[in-house]
Structures are given as structure tokens and as C-alpha cells.
Amino acid sequence: MPITDFAAERAYDDETFAAHKVFKTDDLQVVCGYFEPGQFIPVHAPSSALVVAVESGTGVVREGETDHRVEPGDVVTVAADEDRGIKADDDSRLEALLVTAPPPTDAEHEPVREGLRRGEFEPY
């Protein structure tokens, strides 16, 4: 996919955050993330670096032990093997570009699935 935009990819899910993969190789993955108010990606620590670029809305990006308040235009980077999670504020949708290098493995996303099943931002 050579070009897209947030409006073209936009899709929200009432149950959980929506992630629309727009590019993936063995070394890199690019996702447009859409969060309804209060939705989140649970804290986990895969062996990939992460860049979060906020397009719209407000929320929190966890980087290690630090919670960064984010708004449009903010960019947060998280090193590989560091705790990370993303949560929309309770009164705001959040849209962000999420870039991981390399893409996390399915096994590394188990804490995400578990946190979503239990409804916990911090599953461990």
C-alpha cells in the first residue's frame, strides 16, 4: 500500500481498539490504531521498538515506568523489551500511527490478548 490516510483506514470497534495494518515486512510494521474512549492496548514488553504518533484525541502512552500524556502531534518512542501500552482518555477517541520494528511475534502479544480478555490495562 503506497499511500493511505487516517480517514481511509478509520474503523472503530465497540469492544476493543481497532488496528488497521497498512504495511508490513519482516523488519517493520505500520498500523493505524483507533481507540474508542477508554479503550487500550494492555501493557506488554515485546522485543521490538515502537513509535506512536498521535493523529487525534488524547490519552496515555506507557514507556517503561513512565506514563506520557499525549495529544495530536505528539510522538512517543519506546525501546525494545520496555513495557508499553496505549490508552485513550475516558472522554476522547484516540487515533495514532503505530510503527514497530521488527513486528512483535504472536507469542509476544499474549499479554495483550490476556489483558483484553480481563479488561486490564496492566495485565501483569
Check residue 2 and give its pLDDT: 77
Check residue 1 and give its pLDDT: 61
Q: What's the mean pLDDT when you consider all of the chain?
A: 96
Check residue 33 and give its pLDDT: 98
Check residue 52 and give its pLDDT: 98
Task: Output the 3-class SS for 31-71.
Answer: EEEEECCCCEEEEECCCCEEEEEEEEECEEEEECCEEEEEC
* Intervals of the chain under pLDDT 70: 1
**H-helix or E-strand spanning residue 93:** none
The burial class, CB within 10 Å (0-12 / 13-18 / 19+), for 100 is buried
pLDDT digits (tens, 9 = 90+) for 76-85: 999 999 999 9
CA angle 10, 115, 96 (to 5 degrees): 25
If you compute the radius of gyration of the chain from its CA atoms, what whole number of angstroms results? 13
**Which CATH number is 6-118's, of 2.60.120.10, 2.30.30.30, 1.10.287.610, 3.40.30.10?**
2.60.120.10
Q: Answer yes or no: are the C-beta atoms of 114 and 88 closer than 8 Å.
A: no
pLDDT digits (tens, 9 = 90+) for 15-34: 999 999 999 999 999 999 99
